[in-house]
Structures are given as C-alpha cells and as structure tokens.
Chains A and B, each alone.
Chain A
Amino acid sequence: MKDYDVLLHVKGESEFTADRAAGMEMLHIAILTSTSAHAKISAINFDDARKIPGVAGIFTEKDIPGNNEIGNIIADEPLLAKNEVHHVGQPIAIIVAESRDLAKKAANSIRVVYEELPPIFTPREAHAKGSFIAPPRTFSLGDIEGAWKNCDCIVEGSVEIGGQEHLYLETQNAFATPKEGGGVKVYSSSQSPTAVQKTTAGILGLPMHQVEVDVLRLGGGFGGKEDQATPYAAMAALAAMILKKPVQIVLKREEDLCITGKRHPYSSDYKIGLKKDGTILAYDVKFFQNSGASADLSTAILERTLLHTTGSYFIPNVRSYAACCRTNLVPNTAYRGFGGPQAMLVLESAIWKAAEKLGINPVVLQKKNLSKKGDEFPYGMKNLSDNAIKCFEQADKKYDIADIMENANKWNESHPSKKKGVAVMPLCFGISFTSTFLNQASSLVHVYNDGSVGVTTGAIEMGQGVNAKIRTVISRVFSIDISRIKSESTNTTRNANTSPTAASSGADLNGNATRIACEDILSRLKAFVADQLETSPEQVEIKNEKVLCGGKETKWNWTSLVNDVYFSRIGLSSLAHYATPKIFFDKKIEKGDAFAYHTFGTAIAEVNLDCLRGTYEVESMKIIHDAGQSIHSVIDRGQIEGAVLQGIGWLTMEELVYGKTGKLLTKDLSSYKIPDIYFSPKEISIEFLESDEPNAGALNSKAIGEPPFMYGLAVYFALQNAIKAFRPKINTIFDTPLTPEKVLLSLFNDHQ
C-alpha cells in the first residue's frame, strides 16, 4: 500500500515551505548576529548597510511594535537583542533586501562594537556560580541515605554528554504576507503553529486572530522546529507587516548550525549501590544541564530527564537532582528523546561501572533489575506493564544474548588488532507531554458530498508519517478506502490552540481526536440509515464501503449514502477534541501519573573496532520493540530504523566543537558529520512485541517517534566493551560522543 505523501516525495512534488513561495515576489531577510558570547553592545553602525541599493529595511528591537519576547515557558529571550548579547549567533537586527545575497552583504557591512563580559560555557561552572534558568529540582523515592549501608558494592563516577545538531535537511525558514486589516499570514516550517501564532502576535502587538499560521510539511524536525522555528517566522512577519510586502527568510546551513539550539549537553555525577547478587538498591544522581543562554524548553526537558532517572529499572532508593544551568551558548532545545536519553546514558554508565567492579557482565545487572508491573517509578507512578521484561526475554530467546557475547569473545582472542563489542539496551520511555495541559488535540473532518474526505489536525507531518496514520484511523473508522482521504495543511484558522507535534504524541493525540470526529459523523450516517430503514443505529454498519444493516447489504454504498445524507441536510463535518485521560503531575511533591503509558523494548548491538585506526562500524542491531497494536507497522519500522541511526550518530561521530570564545567550529556539513549510508548498521533486525494490552494511543497503538532513539546507547556500550577487549585494564571514561579520536586515544593513551 503506497502512501499519499510518499507518492509526492518520489516525484519531488511535495511542497516544503520555501517551495510554496515559488514564483511570488519576495523580499529576503539576512540576520545580523552576535559574534560575542557575552557582551554589552556599545555601538552599532548601520550607515554603510543602509546605503546599499536594494536594501528595503533594517530592523532592531526598537522596531518591534509589541513585546520583544519569544520565551514560551519563561519570558527570558528577546527576538532581537537589546543592549546585551548572551551567546554567539544571537540575532541583533534583521536586514531586508531584494535578494538574500544582498541582505547578507548588507549584514556583513554592519559594525557592532562589543564591551565584552565574562562568559560561562560549562554547566558545572554555571552551577558553581549559581547561574540557573530556574530553581533546581529533586525527585526522590525510598530512603537514599539509609540505603547505602545495605549495599555490598558502591560505585561513584561522572558522565559527560555532548550535544547534537538536529540536521533536519530543510533548514529553518518561513515567509509572511501582509493581510487586510493589519494582519499577517505566516507560512512556517514549524512543529508548533500555535506557538508561532502566539509569539508573532505578541511581537506584532496583535490579537492571535490577526495572525494566521499555515504549515504544510517539514523537511525534518526532530524537535528542532518545536520552539525554534518561531523566531524566523516572527522575523518574516515583522518585516512583512512594516514593509507591507511579502518577506521570506531561509537560513543557510551554516547559519542554521550556528544560531539554532541543539540537544542539551549534560554533565552528571552518580553514585550507585548494589547487593552482591546484583540487585540495585540505591541510586543518587546529579544532572547539570547545559541549557544555554535562555530557557527555551530546557525546564521541560530537565523534567523528562528526572522522570527517566531509573530508565527501565526498578530502584527502591533514589535521589535525582537536576539543574538547568544558564551558560553563554545558544539556547538548547527539544530533540528526539527530550532529556530522556541523557538520563538513561548516565544510569547505563553507572550500571556498566558497577558490573565492572562486580566482575560480571552488565547484561546480568540489566536483566535482574528490570521494572515489572506494579513497580514504582521515582515520580510515584506505577509501571502498568510487564513489557520491559517481555521484550528482554523475547530478545534473549530469539537472538541468544549469551551466545552472541561468547562468539565475540572467541573472535577477539584470535584478533589482536581488531575487536568486537556487544551490548544490550533495555528501553522504557514515558509517553505524554510532561506539561499535562499540552495533552490535547483537535481534528476537523469533512466528508464531502462526493464521498471524499478531508482532515485537518494540529499534527505536523515531518516525515514521521503522522498524516498516514491519521488517514488510516479515518479509513478504519469509516471503513473506506484510504485513497479517498486527504490531509490538509495545519492552519491556525482551522485548528486553534494546537499543541506542538512533539513528545511522540502526534498520532496519539491527533489520531484520537480524529477517531472521535469520525465516530461523530459515523453516528449521524448510521442514524440516517436507521431512520430510513426503520431500525436502530446499532444494526447499521459500514464495511469496506458497503452499508450493511443487520449484516445484510442495503441499497447504499459509501458515496451514495454520503450523497443522500447531504441532501437530507445533515452535517458531514465534525470538529472533535481529545484530552488524554487520567494523567496528572503535582510539581509541589514531584509525584504523579505523568504518563499515559510507557513504551518498551530491547536492543542488542554488535560493533567491530579497528584498533590500529580507531575506527569502527556497527555490525548489527537486533531489536524487539513494543509498538502496541501498530496502526502502520511499515511506518513504525521506518521510525525505529531512522531513530536508531540518529541515536548512534549522537554517541559516535556527531561532535559539536566550540572555540574558546564560544563560537561553533563545526559549522558546516564538512565538519559536523552525521551518519551516511555506509555507517548504517550492516544488519538490522526489528521484531515487534506481540501485545494485546489496551493503550491510550490511537486504536491501541503506541507512540513511536522518540523511544527507539535510545537503542543507540547499545552501540555506545558495545564500543566501550570492544575498547576494553583491547585494553582490559582501561579506566573507562564516559565522555560522549565516542569519536574515532577518543577511541584511538583511549586505546593507546596510558594516561587515560
């Protein structure tokens, strides 16, 4: 079965935001950004720039009619800097010109004089100096202080985790056209049209209804366009409103890399305590998040870190402290996993070290401590499922973990300069926005009187297949052919107050809202048939486009029924709202049922290491994944395959290097490397867990976007195991990403 969006993609006919501006006469924006990480702006000279023919306008914070504020959670970030800059790349002014090159030329001719202030770049330094975005938080379970005395083995250590660039192939971009009555229409490449609408309205000093935001699809998002598409849309809208002309902004790749936020780097310290038999009794951890210069989504991301402190495991005594540390780097932002991967990496590192100390394989500890149904998480919620254990057992049964490890060991004995490494990663990831209010969605379904169907929701299609899933929901509820259904762009005039398409929840929330809208229309269709046939609606059903009554065919099929219903003046549209039931979280006590459910899985990774060159490849990834009752297993498989490689990239080759003054040095694709086709695992095997549990996802499915990202951790620890096979006495340091450089230095540097 081929999919509507994919059919457009293969012909190059799918329109991305910049394509939608094709043929329109536009002015173009270049941004003047800070070259200093922390400074007062003592002077700016725009004279030369203004003289350049073709420059239509230069705007600074002074030109903003409304609030110069883009902070969504905490109001601490201006659209355009006022007096001070807090990171390299912070926008100071926007230059509008007839062409993008001209605007850039003008931007380059502007001289800014900075009075430098001392910058902070590391979260540990920020923490020591009390530089926070918000007060630090602590989650607790059991009695951590009392637990240590019962432990036979205690290990302490630290973990340094690097950031990650989203590298959506389509860079940030938007265009805006002025509208009658002083309003503006914004075409944005955003995961969060309502955020664009609200922030733009605030910047322009307009009510939200004067700002229409339309999003058709994104060329990748991964969280990078959840909050950080907003400023570019707002800049285009600001210029369009002032100049009364359509204005476009498209970031060049280098700009996008330098001025947009990334996955948060974390520094962490842990202490873990176990009994001799491997039972983890106590875990005390401190997370220092490098939030960057302003809040963005950092506090919510930190919350998810706290919520994933214990990963897939049950630990009875836990203290988890976490702080959003304000530094002078670009504000970091949402990225697939949203703080969860960092929490799991710290815990898995602690387990790895504990296993080393106990002289056993980490997999023994992993298996022994898996969370089972009824076990409590540190945030008070009980695990609703045994699927963590089931996934692990299914993986072990299918692939025989001990056998894979033994084969690798044997192979290693006869290969002095090449080593294999194997590691396992059990997964447990909570599904729901941690900000409870965001767990709502609306869906507008139109059945046209020819039987075709249009749907519009708050969900943004960015490659994850959410539109295909929503169409599948409609097709199943109506029992009609999927080719009848078209997904429209997300538009704030059709779906208001939408939540971002994020937290893996797009299909869950919007799929459920769509299901309700369809059920509403379906009930009207059934009532009509029942009325005509003088029977009860329960007798009526639509099956494969045939209208049945009491199991027997009637004179109607889908199209004739819809047509007759229309002529009987019955509405064929429905706008439905969905809110995830039962979830809550009390921040005062840091307890609550934060998630609708958890997604589980187990991955086994095998890597090959060339010890002479420090290079490596992923031999295989073997995965058992709990996708619930998948709506679309082909899409889910694709999400797993893509997430796995992105997770591997994060921990291996994707390295952000900053200069001493806080300038990003890995500012292009020739220096920031992401996995290519050759780096894709040589073998990848994915099997879904058979499960008939009811789930809060659409039609009992489970969210898929983020969880498999964390399977990448298996590769990281497999690499550490391979390094250890070459240098058994190494004092392993956890400092990601594990680039070929770090591998080679740890293989040969005796000071490590």
Chain B
Amino acid sequence: MTSFIINDKEISLNLRDGKATLKTIRENLHLQGSKEGCGEGDCGACMVLLGENIGESTLRYKAINSCLLPTGELSGKHVVTIEGLNQKRLSLIQETFATEFAAQCGFCTPGFIIAFTGFLMTTTDLDKEEAIQSVSGNICRCTGYVSIKRALFAILKKLNSSDFKKTKPGSAARVKLLIDENILPSYFKEIHKKIKGMQPAGIPILSSHKIIAGGGTDIAIQKRDILENQDIYFISERKDLREIFLNEGKCYIGGAVTFEELRTSKIMEKIYPQGKNVFQLIASLPIRNRATVAGNIINASPIGDMTVFFLAMDAILSFSDGINKREIPLREFYKGYKTMDKKDNEILEWIIINVPDKNTFLHFEKVSKRKYLDIASVNTGICITVKKHIIEKVGISAGGVGPTPLYLSKTCEYLTGKKIEESIIKDALKIANEEISPISDVRGTEKYKRLLLRNLLLSHFIELSPKTINQNILSL
C-alpha cells in the first residue's frame, strides 16, 4: 500500500512499486493533464512536482518526470499535477502563459507550468538563466520557446517587486508568498503538516530478490518490465547516504546523492567551482533531481558523464552488502562493456575523492549533438596538479571512446613529470589516440570521436594554460 497526497487529497493505493507514476496518475487517479510524450524522461510532458518534508520546517519540492518515477517512491510525499494548480481563477503562471500565447498545441504546456511552478518554490534567485534552466527538461515542438521565454521573464519581472527574495525556498513563508502572489492554491499551506501526519517509510531491507534503484532514471527505460514486476529497494530511502561531507582531506559523496544535490553542494563548489555550470550540461533538471551519482557509476555506460568526471579524480568506491564493506578504485571497477566488479546485493554507499589542493586544476568537457539534455559523443575529465610548471600528478578520463569509461593511464604516465608545452601536449595526444578504441554508432563515427577527443583534450590544456597553449595549436 502506498499512501501519499495527490494535489489536495490524501490517498492510499495498492499498486506495484515499480508502476510508473504517470500511469498511476492517468489510469488510477484519472487525471489527464499529465501527458506521455516519450516515456523516457526526454520531453517533460509528464512533469509533476514531488514534495517531501526535510526536517522540521522545510517542505522541499522537485520537478520530476513522472514517466520514470516509480509509484513506490510517492510514499509519504506530495505529488502535484497540473490539476493541483488549478483554481477558480488562473494562477499567475497560467495567466501569463495564456497572455503570451506560450502554448500552441498545448500538449507540453502542463509540463512547462509544473516545471516553472517548481522553480518558484525552490529558487533563491529570480535569475533569467536559472528560470530557463528550470524548463530545460521540457521539449516544445510548436513555439520555438520564444513565447515561453517571454512568459517566464514577465513572471520574474512581476515577482521582482514582491518580497520573494526575502523568503527561503521550502519555508512556510515562501509557500505563503506564492499563495498570496496567486501561484499556488491555498491548500499548500496545510501540506507540511499533512505529510508530518503520515506514516514515514521505514528503512528498506536489502534482500536478493529486490532490484536496487537509485533514481531509477535508467532502469525505468532499459528494464521497465523488471522494474514493474519486482520488489524494489529504493536507495532514496537511505537518508544516511544522502549527504556530502569532508573528512581528513577526503570528500565523501553518498550513494543516494542526486546529480542536482552534487551540482548545488557548497562542498562541491569549493572543490570544483565551475561544476555548478558544467554539471548543467548533464541531463536536465528533472533528471538531475532523481538520477544519483552512484547510479551513473553502476549503470556502467561507457559515456556516463559523472563517471567520467570522477574517474579523472581517481575516485574510490565504497561498497556494502549490509554486512561487509570494501573499497575499490573506480579505475579498476569496470571489467568490460557493462560488466563490473560488483555483486548483486552490494550497494555503492560512498564515492570518495581527494580534496584537490591549490595547485590542482579540474576540468570537464562534453560534446553532444545537442548541448543540453543529451548523451555525449565524447566526454573527458582532467585532474591535474602542476607545481612550478611541472606536472606533478595527472588523471585524465575519456568516455565514448571504448567499451567502458576509460582512464587514460598511458597518457597520464607520459605527462607526469613533464612541463606543459606544445610539443609535450602533441605527443600526449598521440598516446591518447592509441589508448582509445571508439566505434561508430548513433553518437558519431570513429573518426569523429577520435578527432573530438583530441580537441577536447587540447581544450583541457588551453583552459589550464591559455598562455602556453596558443590557440593556433588547432592547426596541428
């Protein structure tokens, strides 16, 4: 039995944990405003808000693709569909979308309105770029997004003159303000209390017949049948693994930490200040709200963005089967295409990295057909320590150029102890080219992937040392 709040009603349903929330909404709850556009988190037509209490006073909402969200995850949470935003009069967002004709065929519209409502609940800032980011997981085929942008900016402008910025995301004050500004219906005031009154989900019990799901954003696509018919161990219930902390020069990232939690983490910001922007290239906000860093590693995709980033940092993985714990370097984790050194009942509990010192430079590059919300053709990370112009230590990773995410150990070995100069870089590029074995597929031809990796490796060094590496090196 799953008990949750759907819009303004508390309900209990007896459904399989793995049933997609979108199906539950449309088939069992008979709410037709959420649409299926792709069924794999790539369009946002099914977007809902998922609210949960964090501590005593915070009610945190996230925009989520309901097609990838297992119904079992709704337990003790608040699900908001477009119907849950409808009142007698239009909300400010609905009103502005209508005024700007920011809806043409209307199929994607509820998803956009949900996503942007979520933004106003969670943002600290009424920034235009952030507003765009909030709907970057929503695809519209009609408008060209121009009228949608006009609507978003008009709403930001209107709210700029309110006390918006004085309220904290997730606070009762924010909820009240959004009710007063005609963005949320008044029943939202009661939600925090209602959730509190609900039975909290217990700590899950690991057993061999259960399928382990992080955010489930990949399983729900690749293994839909299994997910729908098996019991699920939701890592999201492991609150103990939902943190990022520092200890003795190392940073620990929990197995339940999502991409978005990593992207916005203050600790991560110190380690990799560019991450806040760079990680926007990975998935979309609603996917980042669900997908876990650990899940990306366990997924073992040769092109996993987070994996490639942490591979460059030479991360250590810490596993537990509930009794025994063990650690293994990420570098040694993959044994071949989608095969890895992991038992079925083991959970990746922590990803551990060394906190880089002031001489260490981190950089991540990714190129895909579409810049945002796309799978990379090639990605690569670098973690390089340079002292007095000499490379003391370097880790370089590359994705999309082999059966697993690659750690370019020969290239790294060659570079270690060398000075950063053009001839050295050129030689390193040649070594890297021999270390990789890309194949032609939908993400690009072999020839392209080799050329692209060369240029992206080059861009690491251009970013690191723009003066030494002249841009004319491009002609090499």
| A residues with CB within 8 A of B | 2-3, 5-16, 19, 22-23, 166-171, 217-220, 222, 252-253, 416-417, 462-465, 611-615, 617, 634-635, 637-638, 641-646, 653, 655, 657, 665-666, 668-671, 673-680, 684, 739-741, 744-745, 748-749
Whether B458 lies near A680 (C-beta < 8 A) is no
**With A220-B142, A612-B474, A638-B147 as given contacts, are A13 and B38 in contact (CB-CB < 8 Å)?**
no
B244 at interface by CB-CB < 8 Å: no
Please indicate the chain A residues that have their CB under 8 angstroms from the CB of B426 in the complex. Answer: none
**Secondary structure of the B side of the interface?**
loop
Please indicate the chain B residues that have their CB under 8 angstroms from the CB of A171 in the complex. Answer: 36-37
Closest to A616 in B: B371
B331 at interface by CB-CB < 8 Å: no
Q: Give the complex CA separation of A19 and B140 in angstroms.
A: 19
Q: Give the complex CA separation of A597 and B199 in angstroms.
A: 68
Enumerate the 6 nearest inter-chain pairs by beta-carbon distance, A residue then B residue, closest first: A12-B33, A463-B105, A9-B106, A219-B107, A12-B82, A463-B104
Please indicate the chain B residues that have their CB under 8 angstroms from the CB of A10 in the complex. Answer: 90, 93-95, 97-98, 103, 109, 113
Whether A614 lies near B452 (C-beta < 8 A) is yes
Could you jot down 19 A-B contacts, CB within 8 Å?
A: A3-B98, A6-B103, A9-B103, A11-B90, A168-B105, A168-B141, A169-B105, A169-B141, A170-B37, A252-B39, A416-B474, A462-B105, A642-B104, A642-B142, A653-B369, A674-B141, A677-B149, A741-B377, A741-B444
Task: Choose, from B131-139, B245-253, B349-357, B399-407, the stretch at the interface.
Answer: B131-139
**With A169-B139, A673-B374, A676-B373 as given contacts, are A684 and B146 in contact (CB-CB < 8 Å)?**
yes
Whether B370 lies near A641 (C-beta < 8 A) is no
Please indicate the chain B residues that have their CB under 8 angstroms from the CB of A9 in the complex. Answer: 97-98, 103, 105-106, 109-110
Whether B43 lies near A169 (C-beta < 8 A) is yes
**With A11-B86, A612-B459, A676-B372 as given contacts, are A464 and B442 in contact (CB-CB < 8 Å)?**
no
Whether B101 lies near A635 (C-beta < 8 A) is yes
Please indicate the chain B residues that have their CB under 8 angstroms from the CB of A611 in the complex. Answer: 474
Q: Give the complex CA separation of A612 and B455 in angstroms.
A: 6
Whether B471 lies near A417 (C-beta < 8 A) is yes
Chain B: number of interface residues, binned into ranges: 35 or more
Whether A12 lies near B83 (C-beta < 8 A) is yes
Whether B107 lies near A170 (C-beta < 8 A) is yes
**With A6-B101, A10-B109, A23-B30 as given contacts, are A745 and B448 in contact (CB-CB < 8 Å)?**
yes
Contacts A12-B82, A22-B32, A677-B140 supplied; 13 other A-B pairs, CB < 8 Å:
A9-B106, A10-B97, A11-B94, A463-B105, A464-B104, A611-B474, A612-B458, A612-B459, A638-B143, A641-B144, A642-B143, A653-B369, A675-B370
Whether A16 lies near B371 (C-beta < 8 A) is no
B174 at interface by CB-CB < 8 Å: no
* Chain B proximity of A342: nearest CB distance (Å): 20
Q: Give the complex CA separation of A722 and B108 in angstroms.
A: 34
Whether B370 lies near A673 (C-beta < 8 A) is yes
B206 at interface by CB-CB < 8 Å: no
* Chain A proximity of B106: nearest CB distance (Å): 3
Please indicate the chain B residues that have their CB under 8 angstroms from the CB of A745 in the complex. Answer: 447-448, 451
B472 at interface by CB-CB < 8 Å: yes
Whether A220 lies near B141 (C-beta < 8 A) is yes
Please indicate the chain B residues that have their CB under 8 angstroms from the CB of A2 in the complex. Answer: 98-99
Please indicate the chain A residues that have their CB under 8 angstroms from the CB of B140 in the complex. Answer: 169, 677
Q: Give the complex CA separation of A741 and B32 in angstroms.
A: 40
Q: Give the complex CA separation of A657 and B61 in angstroms.
A: 39
B375 at interface by CB-CB < 8 Å: yes
Q: Give the complex CA separation of A676 and B109 in angstroms.
A: 14
B232 at interface by CB-CB < 8 Å: no
Whether A220 lies near B105 (C-beta < 8 A) is yes
Please indicate the chain B residues that have their CB under 8 angstroms from the CB of A666 in the complex. Answer: 442
B404-445 Cβ-contact flags toward A at 8 Å (1 or 0): 000000000000000000000000000000000000011111
| B residues with CB within 8 A of A | 26, 30, 32-40, 42-43, 45, 81-83, 86, 90, 93-95, 97-99, 101, 103-110, 113, 132, 135-136, 138-149, 365, 367-375, 377, 441-445, 447-448, 451-452, 455-456, 458-459, 462, 471-472, 474
Whether B141 lies near A646 (C-beta < 8 A) is yes
**With A170-B37, A740-B369, A744-B455 as given contacts, are A638 and B43 in contact (CB-CB < 8 Å)?**
no
Please indicate the chain A residues that have their CB under 8 angstroms from the CB of B38 in the complex. Answer: 253, 668-669
Q: Give the complex CA separation of A657 and B458 in angstroms.
A: 29
Q: Which of A13, A673, A744 contacts B448 (CB 8 A)?
A: A744
Please indicate the chain A residues that have their CB under 8 angstroms from the CB of B34 in the complex. Answer: 12
Whether A669 lies near B105 (C-beta < 8 A) is no
Please indicate the chain A residues that have their CB under 8 angstroms from the CB of B45 in the complex. Answer: 169
Q: Give the complex CA separation of A679 and B103 in angstroms.
A: 18
Q: Give the complex CA separation of A566 and B122 in angstroms.
A: 57
Whether B107 lies near A220 (C-beta < 8 A) is yes
Please indicate the chain A residues that have their CB under 8 angstroms from the CB of B108 in the complex. Answer: 169
Please indicate the chain A residues that have their CB under 8 angstroms from the CB of B107 in the complex. Answer: 16, 168-170, 219-220
Whether B30 lies near A3 (C-beta < 8 A) is no
Most chain B CB within a 10 A radius of its CB, from A171, A253, A676: A676
Closest to B224 in A: A101
Whether A219 lies near B35 (C-beta < 8 A) is yes
Q: Which of B35, B101, B372 contacts A638 (CB 8 A)?
A: B101
**With A22-B32, A219-B107, A220-B141 as given contacts, are A614 and B442 in contact (CB-CB < 8 Å)?**
no
Q: Give the complex CA separation of A615 and B459 in angstroms.
A: 13
Whether B32 lies near A12 (C-beta < 8 A) is yes
Closest to B106 in A: A9
Please indicate the chain A residues that have their CB under 8 angstroms from the CB of B367 in the complex. Answer: 613-615, 740
Whether B144 lies near A644 (C-beta < 8 A) is yes
Closest to A222 in B: B141
Closest to B472 in A: A416
Please indicate the chain A residues that have their CB under 8 angstroms from the CB of B444 in the complex. Answer: 741
Q: Give the complex CA separation of A684 and B98 in angstroms.
A: 20
Q: Give the complex CA separation of A124 and B37 in angstroms.
A: 35
Q: Which of A641, A675, A677, A739 contacts B132 (CB 8 A)?
A: A677
Whether A680 lies near B105 (C-beta < 8 A) is no
Q: Give the complex CA separation of A697 and B185 in angstroms.
A: 44
* Chain A proximity of B112: nearest CB distance (Å): 9
Q: Give the complex CA separation of A44 and B110 in angstroms.
A: 44
Whether A613 lies near B369 (C-beta < 8 A) is no
Closest to A639 in B: B104
Closest to A220 in B: B105
